[in-house]
C-alpha cells in the first residue's frame, strides 16, 4: 500500500516500487522491512538516503520540479518559547515514521532533525499538522502563574494548559511557575510508618489531596494516625485518612495501637532463636532461627500460618523471620 500525504509518499507493503522521474514526491518514506528486492533506487539518490527507525528516508528527490527543493509538507512550522514538559497529541500519524500519535515534543524534534527538516540547534521548533494539541503535562491546579496558554481538556488527560495548532506557521510564547512543594514526613518517634502509605507522594503542592493508606495487613484498628499540622479526615468505606495539603510541611504520627501475638515453635529441631514469648512485639518484629554448625536450612522445613503477614526466608545457616501481623511459625526436620 502507498499513501500520499502532501508531497510525501509512504510505502507500507511489498508492492514492487521503483523511484522514477514520474514520481512527484519530494520526500519518500519506505518501510525498511519491505525494501529488499522491491525498491530500485536511482543512482543519484544513493547519497541522499538516510536510515532511522524502521524507515528509509529519501529527501529532496532530484526529479522534483526545481531540482532539489526543500520539502513543502502539509504541516506547518511551530515555534515555542520553551519545550519543558511539552507533549503533542493528535499528531497526523502518517507524517512521522514510527509515530505513536502522542509523545514528548523533543521526540518530534529528534526525528525532524534526522530528516533534515530543521536544524539541530532549533530545539524549540517542529513541523506540526493543523489540529494537533500541544500541552504541558502538569495538572492545572499545580501552577502558581501561567501566561500565553489556555486551559483545555485533553482526552484521557483532563484539564491541561496548552493550545491547538492552526493551519499556518505559529509562534507561541508562554511562561509559567509552579507552586512550591512541601514535605509530608513521619515523626521520628513513629514506629508504624512502614505500614502507612502516602499517596501520591511525600512531596506535595498546596491544595492537593493527600491520602494515607494502610498496607501490610494493617488497618485503622491497629494503627492510630495523627497530625498536629492539619486536620485528618477519615473515610470509613476505604479505611484511609486524607487531608488537603497546606503551604507548609506536615508531620504525621503513626503508632500501633496494640501489640501482635507471635509464636515460634522449633518443634524437635536443634534450631535456636532469641524469641522471648513474654516480650511485647509490634508489627515488623524480626527474628533469626540459627542452624547448628554442619547443617544448612535445607535440613529443615517450616509452616507459615499467614503467607501474607509472615515472611520466613532461608539464608544459608539461618532463617530470617519477619512478623507483620499476629501469627506463628512452626519448624520441623526435613
Per-residue model confidence as pLDDT tens digits over 203-235: 888 888 999 999 888 899 999 999 988 999 999
Say yes or no to pLDDT of 60 above 50.
Answer: no
Q: Which three cell numbers stand for residue 77?
A: 512550522
Per-residue model confidence (pLDDT) at position 6: 54
Per-residue model confidence (pLDDT) at position 7: 59
Per-residue model confidence (pLDDT) at position 174: 97
Taking residues 164-178, report their average pLDDT. Answer: 94
Per-residue model confidence (pLDDT) at position 152: 92
- Give the pLDDT confidence of 102-160 residue by residue, as tens digits: 578 888 888 778 767 788 898 999 888 888 899 998 888 889 999 999 999 887 788 99
- Give the pLDDT confidence of 258-313 residue by residue, as tens digits: 999 999 999 999 999 999 999 999 998 999 999 999 999 999 998 776 667 899 99
Question: What letter would DSSP give residue 260?
Answer: B
- For a pLDDT cut of 70, what percent of the chain falls above it? 73
Closest CA to 217 of 237, 243, 192: 192
Q: What does residue 194 show for φ and ψ, rounded to 5 degrees?
A: -65, -20
Q: Are 276 and 316 in contact (CB under 8 A)?
A: no
pLDDT band at 62 (very low <50, low <70, confident <90, very high): very low
Residues 6+ apart with CB under 8 A from 87: 102, 103, 104, 105, 134, 135, 136, 137
Q: Are 31 and 57 in contact (CB under 8 A)?
A: no
Per-residue model confidence (pLDDT) at position 67: 36
Termini Cα distance of the chain:
66
Q: What is the rounded CA–CA span in Å between residue 164 and residue 106?
A: 18
Q: Are 300 and 332 in contact (CB under 8 A)?
A: yes
| In the chain, domain spans | 2-59, 76-178, 182-256, 262-333
Q: Which three cell numbers stand for residue 301?
A: 522445613
Amino acid at each position: 500500500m502507498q499513501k500520499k500525504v502532501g508531497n510525501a509518499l509512504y510505502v507500507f507493503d511489498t508492492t514492487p516500487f521503483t523511484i522514477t522521474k514520474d514520481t512527484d514526491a519530494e520526500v519518500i518514506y519506505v518501510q525498511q522491512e519491505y525494501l529488499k528486492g522491491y525498491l530500485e533506487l536511482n543512482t543519484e539518490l544513493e547519497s541522499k538516503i538516510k536510515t532511522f527507525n524502521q524507515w528509509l528516508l529519501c529527501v529532496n528527490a532530484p526529479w522534483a520540479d526545481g531540482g532539489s527543493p526543500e520539502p513543502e509538507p502539509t504541516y506547518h512550522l511551530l515555534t515555542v518559547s520553551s519545550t519543558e514538559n511539552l507533549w503533542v497529541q493528535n499528531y497526523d500519524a502518517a507524517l512521522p515514521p514510527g509515530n505513536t500519535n502522542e509523545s514528548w515534543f523533543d521526540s518530534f524534534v529528534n526525528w525532524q532533525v534526522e530528516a533534515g527538516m530543521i536544524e539541530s540547534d532549533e530545539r524549540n521548533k517542529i513541523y506540526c499538522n493543523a489540529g494537533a494539541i500541544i500541552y504541558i503535562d502538569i495538572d492545572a491546579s499545580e501552577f502558581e502563574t501561567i501566561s500565553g496558554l489556555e486551559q483545555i481538556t485533553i482526552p484521557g488527560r483532563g484539564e491541561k494548559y496548552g493550545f491547538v495548532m492552526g493551519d499556518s506557521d505559529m509562534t507561541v510564547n508562554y511562561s509559567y511557575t509552579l507552586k512550591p512543594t512541601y514535605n509530608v514526613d513521619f515523626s521520628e518517634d513513629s514506629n508504624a510508618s512502614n505500614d502507612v502509605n502516602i499517596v501520591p507522594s511525600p512531596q506535595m503542592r498546596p491544595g492537593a489531596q493527600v491520602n494515607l493508606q494502610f498496607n501490610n495487613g494493617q488497618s485503622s484498628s491497629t494503627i492510630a494516625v495523627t497530625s498536629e499540622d492539619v486536620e485528618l479526615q477519615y473515610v470509613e468505606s476505604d479505611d484511609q485518612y486524607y487531608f488537603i495539603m497546606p503551604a507548609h510541611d506536615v508531620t504525621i504520627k503513626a503508632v500501633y495501637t496494640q501489640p501482635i501475638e507471635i509464636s515460634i515453635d522449633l518443634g524437635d529441631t536443634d534450631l535456636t532463636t532469641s524469641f522471648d514469648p513474654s516480650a511485647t512485639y509490634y508489627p515488623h518484629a524480626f527474628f533469626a532461627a540459627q542452624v547448628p554448625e554442619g547443617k544448612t536450612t535445607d535440613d529443615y522445613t517450616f509452616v507459615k500460618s499467614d503467607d501474607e503477614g509472615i515472611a520466613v526466608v532461608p539464608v544459608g545457616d539461618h532463617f530470617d523471620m519477619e512478623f507483620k501481623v499476629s501469627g506463628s511459625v512452626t519448624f520441623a526436620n526435613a
